[in-house]
Structure 1
Amino acid sequence: MKRSSGALARTSALLLVLFALSGAPAHAGSWVHGSYTNLWGSRGFQLWVPTGYQPGEALPLVVALHGCFQNPDQFAGLSRLNQKADAEKFLVLYPNQATLFNGTQCWNFMIATNQERDRGEPSIVVGMVDWVKSRYAVDSRRVYVGGVSAGAVLSSILLACYSDVFAAGMVGAGAMYKAATTASGSVYAMAFGSIYSPDDRGADAWACSRKPRWQVPVLVLHGTEDDVVNPINGEQAVRQFLQTNDYGDDGANNDSVPYAPTRVWSGRSTGGRDYLVKEYAYAGRLLVQKYELKGMGHAWPGGDPSYLFADPSGPDATTLMWDFFKQHIR
């Protein structure tokens, strides 16, 4: 039986579509597993490629850093970040801290090697970012980093030392840059706050990024009843990044970026969680935003309750994070 010219055309079109899909880097809405190695070591990672990904369309990239006793799958499940990525169309990179390098899967943020540019774990994470950029369509102006607990402290380090890579970041239940420089010091800092001056660390962070003349927007989330990472760490992180941004404005420590919030307001989540928000705007731009979550412990607010460290009463940290990120382009 002969096929009609219309049927042949439809068959040819279908074959062309299948051929094009077979040549795509990854199927949309799927995991890509890999590892990255440099002189400082090797770590695995998982990349979420969202539904609707097209190789020619440059998308934002969010680097999501899990906390202790977590892995990428668990952090993705807790945060529901992949669902947000599908809805808003961005890539998500989840670096993985193996138990070989830390028995509790914590990022080793307290080790001096991991607090500098082009060294240690920060260099590995940035190497992963470069790996993704080399294989997927990434908008380099919209690369962000955020994490929880130990992952949040590593986020502070990456924002401090690679402000040329990350357009904005989120510190969830974490601490400022170089809050501790030893293992024993990290135990003290988590319990009582850092012994170091946030202003001094703000200058150190600016220097780690090679003294740039731009700002580093940061969202800070912290529960007022966090008994793992003392809430004072959240306030120190705010102060440190404001000081970093003061230097980034004009290269001088002259309070051009003031510490006083430009707006303070309160709210209540649909789950009944009260919160206080402090906003620090500069030149019409929201530079630092802090959510103080009333009565919340060490948790990811709005997280899936089937995972550890979830506080389902909200507000939804994933939505807050993405809403903050998408305001900022490097």
Structure 2
Amino acid sequence: MLKKLNRMWLSSLKKAGKAQQRQAGKVLKAILTKPKATRKPVAPKPRAQKEGPSGEWISSSCVSTGLPARRMHYRLFLPSRAPGLDDSIPLIVMLHGCEQTAADFAAGTRMNRLAAARDYAVLYPEQSLRTHPNRCWKWYDAATQRGGGDIAVIAHMIGKIVEEHAIDRSRIYACGISAGAAMAQILALTHPRLIAAVGMHSAPVLSASRTAVGAYGVMQHGSTQALAPIEKLLLKSPDFPGMPAILITGDDDKIVRPVNQLQLARQFLLLNHAAAPAPQPPVTKAFGRTSKQFPRKNTMTVHDFAAGSKVLLRSVHIARLGHAWSGGDETFPFNARGPDAGKLMLAFFSRHRRRQ
């Protein structure tokens, strides 16, 4: 069955660029690969890291409190601060995609440099090779979607960072790309009073899928019942406080197709409708320059859904972008030219706080 899916997948990408074909094959293999107990993890080849911004770059790990105890490695960026400055700072939780490490994700997105300019801390949890040989987060796992598994470890990790550093508890944000974006959504939905807003780049829609094969189907076609998980959540938690979100997708993404973003927008509209007045009709804006040769080059369309003056949902569609972080460092995989996704997310996050 898996071999057949692989053949169908690679065949459907013949018209795409060769570089994206290679990336697509790697991502599909990563998602459909099941870790074997006898397989020894192979560490990825080290990549050259460019000089980073001024700040502290910490490498550590966190052990969960549940049984059995689980250890997860992480990277933490703390910006340099003026002596004697006691104000607490916001925290962004960045969740990488398949075939990425925490360090690669930080370097590729340039998020540390952006965060340093705004005085933000950035936490990068890292999926272990023992949990998945391609470092994929299992966002489709039932326990994970209930807030267990890796989500429980990440939530515990955030608590540890908040206790050890001067973090503003009302300004903690979660974002990621691909499988990491799906995890960011689950983290936000299972800990809505911890996370103030969520950012999702190239993300699959939250669905009832519970297998890797089902996850592949969602990535390609979306969910047949996209609102069901949200309706179930609101029935269980009628006092859900809402969740502001910024969604970013590439119109040429052949791995997680744009239909997922349309369904994600419906999910977040339902979530925020339960906590605020009905969002107003979207305000659509177009950015970028075009030419006769490249009629869609470097353009993006933004749809804002607001309640009053507060934007609860921002949906960004970027032209000519495949499955990659827009505006990232192209020397790292899954990063491409385009509007800077990191800047877009930081600008959105700065407008939202969680009431404590």
TM-score under structure 2 normalisation? 0.78
Question: Shift in Å at residue 123 of structure 1?
Answer: 1.1
1:64 aligns with 2:64: no
Q: Verify the 8 A CA contact 1:222 1:291 in the aligned structure 2.
A: yes
Q: Give, as a single letter, the amino acid of the residue that structure 1 aligns with 2:154.
A: V
Question: Shift in Å at residue 125 of structure 1?
Answer: 0.8
1:267 aligns with 2:295: no
Residues 261-285 of structure 1, C-alpha deviation per residue, up to 9 Å, x if partnerless? 4301111179941111111001321
Q: Which residue of 1 aligns with 2:344?
A: 320
Change (3 A) 1:77 1:206: farther
Q: Give, as a single letter, the amino acid of the residue that structure 1 aligns with 2:246.
A: L
Aligned-residue CA RMSD (Å): 2.0
Q: Verify the 8 A CA contact 1:206 1:248 in the aligned structure 2.
A: no
Change (3 A) 1:179 1:290: farther
Which of the two has higher C-alpha Rg?
1
Residues 239-267 of structure 1, C-alpha deviation per residue, up to 9 Å, x if partnerless? 11111112233xxxxxx535x74301111
Question: Shift in Å at residue 101 of structure 1?
Answer: 0.4
**What is the distance in 2 between the residues matched to 1:311 and 1:73?**
17
Q: Verify the 8 A CA contact 1:211 1:248 in the aligned structure 2.
A: no
Question: Shift in Å at residue 310 of structure 1?
Answer: 1.1
Question: Shift in Å at residue 175 of structure 1?
Answer: 2.2
1:131 aligns with 2:160: yes
Residues 127-177 of structure 1, C-alpha deviation per residue, up to 9 Å, x if partnerless? 111000110001000000000011001011112111110100101000233
**What is the distance in 1 between the residues matched to 2:286 and 2:208?**
28
Q: Which residue of 2 aligns with 1:192?
A: 221
Matches within 5 A, 1:87-106: 87-106=117-136
Q: Give, as a single letter, the amino acid of the residue that structure 1 aligns with 2:227.
A: D
Matches within 5 A, 1:200-215: 200-206=228-234, 210-215=237-242
Q: Which residue of 2 aligns with 1:236?
A: 263
1:120 aligns with 2:164: no
**What is the distance in 1 between the residues matched to 2:125 and 2:289?**
30
Q: Verify the 8 A CA contact 2:207 2:226 in the aligned structure 1.
A: no
Change (3 A) 1:205 1:151: farther
**What is the distance in 2 between the residues matched to 1:31 and 1:263?**
39
**What is the distance in 1 between the residues matched to 2:101 and 2:233?**
28
Secondary structure at 1:32 match in 2:
strand
Q: Verify the 8 A CA contact 1:202 1:242 in the aligned structure 2.
A: no
Secondary structure at 2:275 match in 1:
helix
Match of 1:227 among 254, 257, 270: 254
Where do 5+ consecutive residues of structure 1 fail to align? 1-27, 250-255
1:144 aligns with 2:138: no
**What is the distance in 2 between the residues matched to 1:175 and 1:207?**
23
Q: Verify the 8 A CA contact 1:55 1:136 in the aligned structure 2.
A: no
Q: Give, as a single letter, the amino acid of the residue that structure 1 aligns with 2:93.
A: V
Q: Which residue of 2 aligns with 1:34?
A: 60
Q: Give, as a single letter, the amino acid of the residue that structure 2 aligns with 1:156.
A: Q
Residues 279-315 of structure 1, C-alpha deviation per residue, up to 9 Å, x if partnerless? 1001321000000111211010000111111112x10
Change (3 A) 1:34 1:299: same
Q: Give, as a single letter, the amino acid of the residue that structure 2 aligns with 1:176.
A: V
Where do 5+ consecutive residues of structure 2 fail to align? 1-53, 291-295
Q: Verify the 8 A CA contact 1:51 1:86 in the aligned structure 2.
A: yes
The count of aligned residue pairs is: 292
Secondary structure at 1:248 match in 2:
coil
Q: Give, as a single letter, the amino acid of the residue that structure 1 aligns with 2:353.
A: I
Q: Which residue of 1 aligns with 2:108?
A: 78
Q: Give, as a single letter, the amino acid of the residue that structure 1 aligns with 2:350.
A: K
Secondary structure at 2:274 match in 1:
helix
Q: Verify the 8 A CA contact 1:157 1:178 in the aligned structure 2.
A: no
Question: Shift in Å at residue 207 of structure 1?
Answer: 5.3
Q: Give, as a single letter, the amino acid of the residue that structure 2 aligns with 1:158.
A: L
Secondary structure at 2:150 match in 1:
helix
**What is the distance in 1 between the residues matched to 2:347 and 2:222?**
28
Question: Shift in Å at residue 56 of structure 1?
Answer: 2.7
Question: Shift in Å at residue 192 of structure 1?
Answer: 1.4
